[in-house]
Chain A
Amino acid sequence: MVIPEFSRRRVLATGALGAVAALLPPTVPAMADEADDLAHRLMGPFVAKEGKVHLKIKEVAESGANEPVGVVVDSPMTPADHVRAIHILAEGNPSPVVASWYLTPRSGRAEVNFRMRLAKSQVVRAYAVTSDGSVWVARQDVKVAIGGCGG
């Protein structure tokens, strides 16, 4: 199923996201804008810093139905300094929020691994929220041959 909004989004995926997004009518949020809104809904106001977060996902996914994804964050995971949350967003999925993991010092290591669906080629983001309230992000382009959300 291809709905018009989605074919337009697909074009966006290949171009300069911010620049093209600005030309769209406001009723059609671009993928990156929608993901930004959802990220703020999850984490409140923040400015994400690059670094600390390592997103492990293949650059080319054979199938979008069952793609392994891992997130590792540099953190001592002590009561004073630990990762509180890891959020994974897929900008080009019909519903971009994939999963939110909530860690504790008892987790010992700031790492989660699972498998996700990718509707099409797109950017996947991983955010980490640390115990001091700062937000870190990593992004990766993933090319998907066969999308994994539909039937």
Chain B
Amino acid sequence: MANSERVKVRIPAKAKKGEIIEIKTQLSHDMESGQRKDADGKPIARRIITRFTCSWNGEPVISADWHQAVSANPFSSFFAVASASGKIKLTWWGEAGEVHEYTHDIVVE
């Protein structure tokens, strides 16, 4: 799957082996909580991202379960140990089946 246009990241292109790098990500998504009402007073259906994962060359780095109280356009930052050159893969799953992916190439020296 191609990198989602909804995803913005700030991740270094290079790192030293063993270095701890910061991974900053943001997904453009309204995270509709299900608590709001439209102009006619009808509830707006809930539509949120419930699962996020980050892997490095297929090995899990971090994952998360998200609920309604995670803000719209969910931003997150966390850390990873630079192990080997390859791919950092970020994936967001919506509870209704939507999937957003982003793969970042990194060189580890």
Residues of chain A whose beta carbon lies under 8 Å from any beta carbon of chain B: 1, 65-67, 90, 93-95, 97-109, 111-118, 148-151
Contacts and interface: CB of A to CB of B under 8 A. Distances in A.
Interface residues of B, number: 32
A90 B35 CA distance: 16
Contacts of B62: 101-104, 107, 112
B45 interface: no
Nearest to B68: A95
Contacts of B80: 106-108
Given A101-B62, A116-B69, 9 more contacts: A90-B69, A95-B69, A98-B69, A99-B65, A106-B59, A106-B81, A107-B78, A112-B78, A116-B71
Nearest to B75: A115
Contact of A108 (B33, B44, B81): B81
Contact of B35 (A66, A115, A149): A149
Contacts of B66: 98-99
A100 B51 CA distance: 10
B70 A115 contact: yes
A100 to B, nearest CB: 4
Q: Which of A65, A95, A99 has the largest count of B CB atoms less than 10 A from its CB?
A: A99
17 contacts: A1-B37, A65-B71, A65-B72, A97-B67, A102-B64, A106-B60, A106-B80, A107-B61, A107-B79, A112-B64, A113-B76, A114-B75, A114-B77, A116-B70, A117-B70, A149-B69, A151-B36
Interface string B30-49: 00010111100000100000
Nearest to A116: B69
B63 A117 contact: no
A95 B67 contact: yes
A113 B76 CA distance: 5
